[in-house]
Structure 1
Amino acid sequence: MTSAAPARPSTAPTDLVVLVRQLRWESTGVVSVELCAADGNPLPPWQPGAHIDLVLPTGITRQYSLCGSPADRDHYRIAVLRERRSRGGSEYVHAFLRPGQPVRVRGPRNNFGFEPADSYLFIAGGIGITPILPMVRRAEELGVPWRLAYGGRTAGSMAFLGELREYRDRVWLHPSDRAGRIPLGEWLDHPEDGTAIYACGPEPLLRAVESAAAHWAPGSLHLERFRARPKPELPNSEFEVECARSHRTVTVPADRSVLDALEGAGLPVAGSCREGVCGTCETRVLGGTPEHRDDILSGPEREAGERMFICVSRSCGPKLTLDI
């Protein structure tokens, strides 16, 4: 990603109890879920690109992009793909979640911020349409030129086609069983000054977009990943973390993450995905040099070394000082 939420101290997350208001099929295998506050109050505000943590009654926590309207504080909308190899999250939503049922959410949190640009090129694959949908609406509201290339296995598997029809010739659909994959060369071979690219989808698509857009101006490309990229195994060393606000120093063994070590020491830290993609554990760095292993920060943000995601990232030296 090339954008993320402002740095904030790592604190224990606050859960909000919401009620399932409605479930609706959006395509084969994709159901949208509307959530409203159990107390009837307006929900916390959000901007395009934001996601929430959905805490299911089983204790499983999953991150889902908000795909409704930020102007509607009465309810949140998420969309959930029923995954064939579900680890319990999507399967529970599809099989057991019902209107009127209470669940907990955390957030919203935004690691995929929608930044001003002269024009936008949106690229979505499958369920990756969810964070893109509010961006399309925002660009339309602003009167900024935009285009969307949206791919999926089949037209029947592609969610929200009904909502996208109103945009007509600005939306190009690429169901792979009929039209093949998104022709990224046609979209990305010629860089466009002032155009921001926002892409979300499966890892093969995002890798292909990164490669095809490598010659665009720095900062043009914005990606959101639902899962961590495959990475080579890196050697780990033991180091110390000085927790500035807690006035404590904790040793992080080679076989434990910073998050695990701080949790084990009873310090107030938050974590969710533990893969470096959701942003829950974002922590401000006050001293030392972090070794970034997340899939959120851009190159310049990594070089700045002002914040890190403690579920996966480590230290380049013997000590880090964190705002904890």
Structure 2
Amino acid sequence: MTVELPKSLDGSGPDRLMRVVHRLVGGVEWLHRNSRRDAAPPRPVNRDIPLVISEVRAEADGVRSLLLTRPGGGLLPAWQPGAHLDVLLPSGRKRQYSLCGPPGERRHYRIAVRRIADGAGGSREIHDELDEGDRIVARGPRNAFPFVAGHSYLFVAGGIGITPILPMVRTAMARGADWRLVYAGRSRASMPFLPDIAELPAERVWTRPDTEFGIPASGAELLAHAPMGASVYACGPVPMITALRLELPGSTAGGLHWERFSAPPIIDGRRFTVELARSGRTVEVLADRTALEAIGEVLPEVAYSCRQGFCGTCHVPLLSGQVRRRSRAPSEDVAICVDRGQGRIAVDL
């Protein structure tokens, strides 16, 4: 590139200041060209955490907890209440499990898993095929259920939903907040971590097995324990979360934050068609079903995990068509577990 320097004020030659600027610019350009030429290519970031199962413990009927440590020891990444691990199982399945140990503990992680006999196989693999000394890989921790600082709380847990709630309770206690815990379940035998719950102040905890009351608790019954203006943090089955949402406006509680371990209900679903470009098939998705369910019938190997739209496992490239977004998938992808097509779409499957 040729640069014509301006004349000095007396017309005798280039201005000295502009000559200095020209040299500086040329030097920057030389550094830019040569730094790019010699720069090493970026290295991919490996977020996998190798872990060994150092302890397996029965926590309730059909529930076991795993204590996970680094194979050679050492500290694990820090985490906050509500966080979970993406666990990569030996079979290739990926599943999310909430961290349920003390929040400040970094020498190990603890997760708990309920065995679902008719599930997709992840919990059966952990219960039937993994034991102490076995190795797995995890990613994270990630947090889709963040615990926000406040003055008062009502914690509501249903069964295995106690796993993200227990670290929140411990944190609220450490902060000196006003809190209450309602822990519901089918029976005491099915409710994990009851010994941990027994160590909490009894006047702040209500343990409510359905077998001792005849029926599941109503939303109003659960919310009756909330301090005035309390933030409600709940994790459990869909009926429990729905009951809380319906009764919240008439309670003394403030906002409601929740997490569930099952797929969200389909609301205002409409039928649509999905073309599977690579396999050459077409599937019809009925109004009350998800694309994941319909595709799974013709492609059983299709990958998925959370079924709630946040983990990214089932994101596939969207080749054509429009979708109604119920996930945070990038615009070029579709989360087949919750996103719904408008009319007809094509995906790279």
TM-score (norm 1): 0.71
CA distance in 2, matches of 1:290, 1:216: 37
Give the 3 Å change call, closer, same or farther, for CA 20–137 of structure 1 in structure 2: same
Give the 3 Å change call, closer, same or farther, for CA 198–13 of structure 1 in structure 2: farther
Q: Say if 2:154 and 2:226, in contact at 8 Å, map to a contact too.
A: no
| 1:28 alignment partner, one of 44, 61, 69 | 61
Q: How many residue pairs end up in the alignment?
A: 270
Deviation of the 1:24 alpha carbon: 0.4
CA distance in 2, matches of 1:62, 1:142: 31
By relative contact order (CA 8 Å, sep 6+), the higher-ranking structure is: 1
Give the 3 Å change call, closer, same or farther, for CA 164–191 of structure 1 in structure 2: closer
Deviation of the 1:292 alpha carbon: 3.2
* Aligned equivalent of 1:171: 205
CA distance in 2, matches of 1:87, 1:141: 38
- The CA deviation string for residues 51-91 of structure 1, in whole angstroms up to 9 with x for no partner, is 11111111111111100012111111000111131321111
| 2:240 alignment partner, one of 173, 187, 205 | 205
Give the 3 Å change call, closer, same or farther, for CA 126–315 of structure 1 in structure 2: same
Larger radius of gyration, structure 1 or 2? Answer: 2
Deviation of the 1:216 alpha carbon: 6.1
1:230 equivalent in alignment to 2:297: no
What is the aligned-residue RMSD (CA, Å)? 3.7
* Aligned equivalent of 2:305: 273
| 1:135 alignment partner, one of 156, 168, 177 | 168
Give the 3 Å change call, closer, same or farther, for CA 183–227 of structure 1 in structure 2: closer
* Aligned equivalent of 2:298: none
Paired residue type of 1:176: D
Deviation of the 1:274 alpha carbon: 6.2
Greater displacement, 141-150 / 206-215: 206-215
Alignment of 1:29-178 (within 5 A): 29-167=62-200, 168-178=202-212
Give the fraction of aligned pairs with identical amino acids, expressed as a percent: 41
CA distance in 1, matches of 2:243, 2:99: 25
* Aligned equivalent of 1:195: 230
Greater displacement, 173-182 / 127-136: 173-182
Deviation of the 1:118 alpha carbon: 1.7
* Aligned equivalent of 2:22: none
Paired residue type of 2:180: R
Q: Say if 1:34 and 1:76, in contact at 8 Å, map to a contact too.
A: yes
Greater displacement, 139-148 / 161-170: 161-170
- The CA deviation string for residues 6-52 of structure 1, in whole angstroms up to 9 with x for no partner, is xxxxx987321100010001111111101011242311111000111
Q: Say if 2:220 and 2:244, in contact at 8 Å, map to a contact too.
A: no
> What are the ranges of 5 or more consecutive residues in structure 1 without an aligned counterpart?
1-10, 239-252, 258-270, 284-288, 298-304, 317-324
TM-score (norm 2): 0.67
Give the 3 Å change call, closer, same or farther, for CA 217–46 of structure 1 in structure 2: same
Give the 3 Å change call, closer, same or farther, for CA 274–153 of structure 1 in structure 2: closer
Deviation of the 1:199 alpha carbon: 0.6
* Aligned equivalent of 1:244: none
Alignment of 1:252-263 (within 5 A): none
Paired residue type of 1:32: S
Paired residue type of 2:178: P
Q: Say if 2:112 and 2:163, in contact at 8 Å, map to a contact too.
A: yes
Give the 3 Å change call, closer, same or farther, for CA 74–82 of structure 1 in structure 2: same
> What are the ranges of 5 or more consecutive residues in structure 2 without an aligned counterpart?
1-43, 275-281, 291-302, 316-321, 343-349
CA distance in 1, matches of 2:235, 2:138: 22
CA distance in 2, matches of 1:160, 1:208: 24
Give the 3 Å change call, closer, same or farther, for CA 16–175 of structure 1 in structure 2: same
